[in-house]
Chain A
Amino acid sequence: MSKIKAENVNVYYGSKQALFDVSIDIAEKEVTALIGPSGCGKSTFLRCLNRMNDVIDICRVEGSIKMDNLELNSRKLDVVRLRENVGMVFQKPNPFPKTIYENVAYGPTIHGIAQSKEEMDQIVEISLKKAALWNEVKDRLDEIGTGLSGGQQQRLCIARAISVSPEVILMDEPCSALDPIATAQIEELIDDLKKEVTIVIVTHSMSQAARVSQKTGFFHLGKLIEFGPTDKIFKNPDNQQTQDYITGRFG
């Protein structure tokens, strides 16, 4: 089933066009990987899905992006509600310089999800457990989140993102700052999460895309060159450019 349906999305930074007629169907409760050489517009597209491009003054988005038939690229859209439903994990771990507990509790607090302290404790615990961080931090929830290791910080950011039970999680190179062990943990996490959540992940690692995703989209120079089941993209792509990129002949 399709969760997000983008049609003819064009994005401009000032007069410079960054995305050209991108159309894509993102399936529900699957992992979709976006790959492509640096500067091809993966992040730009990802940020269209939770309207983070609004933050950039010169950025202009055209086209239609529908999530469950709700038009995202519309002035009338309540961005706050959208971002409650579409969480995001960034390339560089960016926990708040607050306690671990406060980091996870922030989303539920501002969206009024927990009715009581007990409920909030529950949410924090479940989120940290899902992010495979609970055992490491359960005794020091009141320590500052920025004091954790890089991998732990990124899992904290994932816990923060899932604390409001979003339907979609966007991940922009979540493992680029992590070592192989932390990367493996996060990949395992993604595998678990996809039972409940739709995940879109940007990655520079072919093997990671192959391991975690069901669908893969290949971007090049702002265009979506090819999109399809991960198996097919990696084993038998239709497009020559895709073939070249995957086999490491450019990019």
Chain B
Amino acid sequence: MNSFKKNLLKKRYNAERRFQWYGKIAIGLALSFLAVFMFQIFSKGYSAFQKTWIVTEVHYDKELLLIDAESPSKDDLENADYYDVAYKAMTSLDPGLPEEEDRQLIQMVSYKYEAEVKDLLLKNPDYLGKIVPIKLTASDDVDQVHKGNYPRDIPEENRRVNDYQLQIYDMLNERGDILSEFNISFFTSPDSREAELAGIASSFMGTVFSILVCLAFSFPIAVLAAIYLEEFAPKNKFTDFIEVNINNLAAVPSIVFGLLGLGVLLAVFNLPRSTPLVGGITLSLMTLPTIIIAARASLKAVPPSIREAALAMGASNMQTTMHHTVPLSMPGTLSGTIIGLAQALGETAPLILIGMVAFVNTIPGTPVDPAASLPVQIYIWSESAERGFVEKVSACIMVLLAFLILMNLAAQIVRHKFEKKWS
């Protein structure tokens, strides 16, 4: 080998090595961004999956409950007055406290503590007249103190938990009367103004319903449109024009679809506001072009030899399409659909426009009940100043990410498992 050739060869190898390095650096950067992002979310959010309880004792005193009957019925218990009993349960933590300072103790538990006291008795009617231990949801301030998210060393007037409350907290903590348990209510409760009570049940169901409505509207329309355009429509200027416009539609900012939903679905068709029905239809406008494009691409990928084989057997165009082309294109279409839905899942702007940003403290049972959605919930909570909502934002992002990862995984599986090989 002469030296010129050798040099050339060396250059080629060097170029290849350099190129590989650029690629590796790019991937490394992308991965480290992702890692930082994930770390942020997890380190902030994991504590939202823990719930803090304050344990105290409650005396179900018949007199205070204003129950007269000898053996009270379920109704009697239901209608009893729990105010004093609940109040006493909290003030008993520090009997020496002057009455006008009671509020400080009451503020350490959630405002629903009276309902919790009531629920325990309704579940265990034999507690009547007895003194029993009870778990009460700690207020979000105590919750944050317990999780260590709240600095204790700043001046008292800048703190939401005052010195007296910290003292009580320390006493309870020492006694082992502050409990930290898995936060089931985060998944089973709707949104609330109080961070310690707020959960994602409403927004989760809202998202599920929106996605189902979106699927129900966009999938059939998109697949039929794709089949018509790809298999039956004549190729002329007009169909070219339609094709260009579908591609444009896929690039329209989602907020524009939100305006459309607002102007048409709500104003003209008078569909119920803030509901997954409207949200889903609005989102389906967004997913429609994505699915059409994916479906057309996978129809196009079906080899012409299969079509010719069917036609030569005497199948009509319709039969060729329905028996062969469409089934063969389904894996691609489905994975495109799932990816389109995953995009819709993360959409916030159009949903805000159609009113799915309203505060909803009920869990929707149908697509026509008012609901939020996960990304909107993230938006709502991130607007809240309260410390307790910060971890909820991250936790909600984690749930949304898990949802997304599951959907993308499903798309992968559909693509690999059901893809048929042809010769």
Report A's interface with B, CB cutoff 8 A: 50, 52, 55, 57, 80-84, 87-88, 90, 92-97, 106-107, 110-111, 144, 146, 150, 153, 157, 160-161, 164
Contacts and interface: CB of A to CB of B under 8 A. Distances in A.
Interface residues of B, number: 22
B66 interface: no
Main secondary structure of the interface of B (DSSP, over half): helix
B423 interface: yes
A84 B423 contact: no
A204 B341 CA distance: 52
A161 to B, nearest CB: 8
Interface stretch (B244-252, B264-272, B314-322): B314-322
Contact of A90 (B235, B308, B314): B308
Nearest to A55: B311
Contacts of A55: 307-308, 311
B309 A94 contact: yes
7 contacts: A57-B235, A90-B308, A90-B309, A97-B306, A110-B313, A146-B422, A160-B313
B328 interface: yes
Contacts of A161: 312-313
Given A96-B324, A97-B328, A146-B423, A157 B314 contact: no
Nearest to B421: A146
Given A57-B235, A97-B306, A164 B314 contact: yes
A144 B423 CA distance: 11
B312 A83 contact: yes
Given A80-B316, A107-B314, A164-B314, A97 B420 contact: yes
A157 B309 contact: yes
Interface string B381-423: 0000000000000000000000000000000000000001111
A110 B306 contact: no
A159 B391 CA distance: 67
Nearest to A153: B423
Contacts of B423: 92-95, 146, 150, 153
A171 to B, nearest CB: 11
A88 B305 CA distance: 12
B312 A97 contact: no
B358 interface: no
A34 B314 CA distance: 24
Contact of B422 (A84, A87, A97, A164): A97
A111 B314 contact: yes
A52 B311 contact: yes
Given A110-B319, A146-B421, A153-B423, A94 B314 contact: no
B46 to A, nearest CB: 47
Contacts of B308: 52, 55, 90, 94
B310 to A, nearest CB: 7
Given A57-B235, A80-B316, A146-B422, A94 B305 contact: yes
Which of A57, A92, A94: most chain B Cβ within 10 A? A94
Nearest to A89: B312
A249 to B, nearest CB: 34
Contacts of A80: 314-316
Which of B305, B421, B423: most chain A Cβ within 10 A? B423
Which of A80, A88, A96: most chain B Cβ within 10 A? A96
Contacts of A110: 313-315, 319, 323
A96 B309 contact: yes
Which of A87, A107, A110, A157: most chain B Cβ within 10 A? A110
Which of A55, A144, A150: most chain B Cβ within 10 A? A55
Contact of A52 (B312, B324, B422): B312
B306 A107 contact: no
A161 B323 CA distance: 17
Contacts of A157: 309
Nearest to B303: A94
A83 B314 contact: yes
Nearest to A150: B423
Contacts of B312: 50, 52, 83, 87-88, 90, 161
A96 B421 contact: no
Contacts of B305: 90, 92, 94
Q: Would you list the 3 A-B pairs with minimal beta carbon distance, nearest first?
A: A83-B314, A94-B305, A88-B312
Given A110-B319, A146-B421, A146-B423, A96 B306 contact: yes
Contacts of A94: 303, 305-306, 308-309, 423
B421 A95 contact: no
A154 to B, nearest CB: 10
Interface in B156-212: none
